[in-house]
């Protein structure tokens, strides 16, 4: 079973997390997890360009260190880099001390890339916002409290493409996503090898439908 949208009851259990943005304008916040990737992320950038769309990329720190040029490409195209831990670890199964060190390592990798490109960025202030998404959405109340004290906005999602599932029925995902288009939605895709074949079929159609309905795509 796939949960393409998060029930309000679940969102209510973690009110300190951002599940969607309050807005009346036709704005969608696209997010991409688990990258960057040297082939898939540039492909995503090209899809977004066609709609003058900007997105937030929740990056795994070890991929940031491995592919800094891809991160630079994201920044120079107006996208936002954000923290997804250094090694994509699960908050529910990781001691807090180790978890926080992993988050910090990712943040330092991101800061290094952003500083290298700082002179070329139009909106340097937005890149300094600390955004964090826990891998798998797994995070404990104590982890939320600690990261919030460090200035992180903890971002979950309202809509999930489920593109990471190689057995996904593409039509079901696309139908669910487009049926639920609303102002302030935070939508998750993955710029990863596991998700690429599915995302290639979903993302262009989703962008087209949302754009036809008058929606813009902005960074968090």
How confident is the model over 3-62, as pLDDT tens digits? 898 888 888 888 999 999 999 999 999 999 999 999 999 999 999 999 999 999 999 999
Between 1 and 32, the more confident residue is 32
**What's the pLDDT at 146?**
97
Specify if 112 maps to a domain: yes
* Residues above pLDDT 70, as percent of the chain: 96
In degrees, to the nearest 5, what angle opens at C-alpha 190 toward C-alphas 21 and 183?
A: 20
**What's the pLDDT at 14?**
87
What domain range includes position 32? Answer: 15-217
Report whether pLDDT(208) > 60. yes
Q: For residue 19, what is the domain's CATH number?
A: 3.20.20.370
Cβ-contact 86, 109 below 8 angstroms: yes
Specify if 3 maps to a domain: no
Specify if 193 maps to a domain: yes
Cβ-contact 18, 44 below 8 angstroms: no
**What's the pLDDT at 190?**
98
Q: What is the mean pLDDT of the chain?
A: 94
**What's the pLDDT at 29?**
98
Specify if 10 maps to a domain: no
pTM reported for the whole predicted model: 0.95
Of 192, 180, 78, 219, nearest to 135 by C-alpha is 192
Give how many domains the chain has, as a whole number. 1
CB atoms within 10 A of CB 152: 19
Cβ-contact 103, 86 below 8 angstroms: yes
What confidence tens digit (pLDDT) does each residue in 105-140 have? 999 999 999 988 877 676 655 667 899 999 999 999
């Amino acid at each position: 079973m796939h949960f393409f949208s998060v029930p309000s009851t679940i969102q209510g259990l973690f009110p300190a997390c951002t599940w969607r943005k309050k807005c009346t304008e036709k704005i969608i916040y696209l997010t991409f997890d688990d990258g960057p990737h040297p082939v898939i992320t540039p492909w995503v950038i090209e899809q977004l360009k066609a709609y003058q769309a900007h997105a937030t990329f929740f990056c795994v720190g070890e991929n940031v260190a491995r592919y800094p040029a891809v991160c630079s490409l994201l920044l120079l195209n107006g996208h936002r880099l954000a923290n997804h831990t250094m090694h994509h670890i699960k908050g529910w199964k990781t001691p807090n001390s180790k978890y926080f060190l992993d988050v910090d390592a990712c943040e330092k990798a991101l800061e290094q890339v952003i500083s290298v490109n700082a002179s070329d960025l139009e909106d340097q202030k937005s890149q300094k916002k600390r955004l964090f998404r826990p891998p798998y959405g797994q995070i404990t109340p104590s982890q939320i409290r600690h990261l919030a004290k460090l200035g992180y906005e903890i971002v979950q999602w309202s809509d999930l493409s489920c593109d990471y599932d190689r057995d996904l029925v593409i039509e079901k995902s696309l139908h669910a996503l487009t049926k639920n288009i609303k102002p302030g939605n935070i939508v998750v895709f993955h710029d990863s090898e596991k998700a690429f074949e599915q995302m290639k079929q979903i993302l262009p159609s989703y962008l087209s439908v949302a754009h036809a309905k008058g929606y813009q795509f902005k960074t968090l």
